[in-house]
Structure 1
Amino acid sequence: MGPDITEPLTLKCGLVLPNRLVKAAMAEGLADKGHLPGERISRVYSEWAKGGWGALLTGNIQVDVQHLGGYGDLATRSNQADEPQLLDPWKQYAEACQEHGTPAIAQICHPGRQSPRGAGERGIFGQTIAPNAIPLNMGDGVAASIVRNIVFGCPRAMSKSDISHIVGQFVNCARVLAQCGFSGIEIHAAHGYLLCMFPISHHPMPGIVNRNVDTAQFLSLGSNDRQDEYGGNPERRARIVIEIIQQIRKEVPANFCIGIKLNSADHNASEFEDTMTQIQCFYNAGVDFLEISGGNYEDPTMMGRGVREEPNKPKSQSTAAREAFFLDFAAQTRKRFPDITLLLTGGFRTREGIEAALKGGVCDFVGIGRPAVLRPDFLRLMMDPAYTNQEASVVFSKVPVPLVARLLQIKSLGGGAETEYFRGQIHRLADGLSTFAP
């Protein structure tokens, strides 16, 4: 029998989460001038801090101001630690998150080839970077290719010097956030960003990788065919992430949490064993938790696209136990690594579903994203016995896929519509307004 929602969780580093529900990372788009946090994002997290969550996971904090995943992303700079005026906003942000005792864990990342033109300080014609010069696949057809070329272009293959620089940027970002009072960081190696792994797809002929449907960057064989020590077998493809983990650990306090977010993989896919090998590498490197998520710009399953879901239909007990998007992969990971602390995010809407995943031992704690925007007090709704199981749920419809996305067959626009809708709701929280479901 696994834990109850109300049970505290002590991570390997010693950080204690007061319960098993965390506010998951979401795109806020609330950066102030200079990509710094300001009053608006602090107001949002102050509101979430009142909710009694086990932890607050922030949205993306980019490690490189040259390459942002979105136009409103927060980002740290290499000289941040030496500039007090640049540290104060981060300290105020950390304080707002943790003013009621809830630990704040900052999600840090680099978008790699998923950085739109004009996002960041590299200039509108500056190239993105990736393990290899393999562009995004935005969908089938000429229109999708045109959109890709206009918005993202083709990335530049990274040199060893680039890799060393990126590792240093992750370490710098973590050091700055620890200095400013955050309780930990989570390395974002999912959703198609630079460090991401995701199952590749294959050409119908055996042994031929179909790069047109590749969906990841460093950790995936499909987008990393480097011939040096950062490509090849699963361990070498994971090397950049291992170096980041190990070097961050040397630079932060012992009780500072280091987590990692990874994409799930189909147990029947040939890449599954590679994924398990890489998880073993990260566990050996000393991560405090592993978050399981999924999807990317090319296949946005993290937004529920492509996942069969009937949000307005009452769930039976058996289906409630499987409401999470990535439950099967979490169960397989638990079998392989019973000692790893697992965070499962995506799809949870009800107390019954959350309790089923926890008590079934599939995960150690649960991440809540969009429901936390609609109900910042979601945790109290789940924990207060005054609410029946039927009442302890936050269900809502998906945001309609824009007509242009359907006509042009660009899959990412469906997930983009979902992201933009909930980003807008987060902005309503920043303005002190109530939020509403789609």
Structure 2
Amino acid sequence: MAGQGEGARPRVGPAWLAKYIVWLYRSTMTTTIPLLHDNHNHVSLYAAFSSCIDISRSAPDAALALLRGLPEDRLSVVRGWKSFELPMTSEELSSLPPIILINFSLHGFVVSDSGVPFLETTVPEVASMRNDQAWCEANVPPIFAAYCGLAGLDAKKLGEYIDRMLPLGIGSSDEMTVPTIQALDVCSSSPYDKRLNYWVAPALYEKMDIARRGLVSGIKLFLDGAVGSRSAAIEGPWIGPGKAMFTYADDVLLAILRRAGAYGTGLSAHAIGELAIEQALSAIEVAVREGARFRTIRLEHVQYIDVNQARRAKDLGIVLSMQPNFTSDSIDYTDRLTESYLKRNNPFRMLIDEVGFEPGRDMLFGSDGMPDGIAYAATQALFPAYPSQRLSLDELVAGYGTAKGVSGTVTLDIDDTERRVSVSGTSPVRLAP
């Protein structure tokens, strides 16, 4: 038959030709950047989670099948649950093996009915308050401590987690909520100590001796919830259920800042929604006016900061610590955020071009471990849902900054056709003396 014998010419049809044209004109740029510092991560918690099941990359059906196949005789700690992809009904939870399912955002969790007795024997308060979302949002640090205790943390897990960050382009990190004194001891006594900056909750700071206090960069407060748990302090309205949740009443927050202002350390505050940002700015303005002093003041996330709030933060000398990878919330959370909030998320161009924040000076970038590495953050920075969210590669690299305690280079492949950035190599990696 024609075209089948030796020496026959291959068939070239329209589909093949179209694929060839796309390949021919595909625009991919390769560039090199330094190994970076992640200014916002939860290193000890994610290190503990390394022995846990992670369903963040699983399709909903596959994730559910995996959950149903877990052991019946012990509690399984499962991370990476995305409620917008895999809603959990009471009927579903009643049919699952013993599990605690931790939200991808780290805010919020659910426990299967059969898992409750296991949780009651290890962390009884968390077990008893598990269905009280307001309590859970107001007690994030002790819940992180519970997660760490359930999953377990040791020097081996810590080292393996930090080493896994190197091929992803990250050499060092700010550990934004060290969950326990034991976790601080594991981190600070490890060979990775110079590659970590530590932040702790006020209650943990007050339990520390002078030597341990000297190890930390400052105290970390949580002022509101998260979009993933429908608890960020936005004015709304939400699509479907959602409620602005605050950790502290205004007077309680001010009292904490007055007390912390005498510690001689730094201050960091998680504030996602514009209402939490407003609460933070108002309290900081009063505390500073009254004489509170901090080595640095950081606001974390500030996804819905407006221009007036940004100018007030600038006047106060506040550093904005933000996550370019959270730009994808404008795509992922169309089930709960109105178009207005989708557009307002991560307003980098306003902050840089109008207000004058400068990446690397008073604007820092980190991943929050959602996900780890620089590739996803770079993808969202260069190819965002809205032009107002765009960052140049130079701005992104400056906001992360070069790694501490280790040095090297990272090769990025930037694919304009697929609108995706990937890490194709890291080398060489040298430990600082």
Task: State if a TM-score over 0.5 links the two structures.
Answer: no
Give the helix-richer structure, 1 or 2: 2
Q: Which has the larger radius of gyration?
A: 2
TM-score normalised according to structure 2 size:
0.39
Give the strand-richer structure, 1 or 2: 2
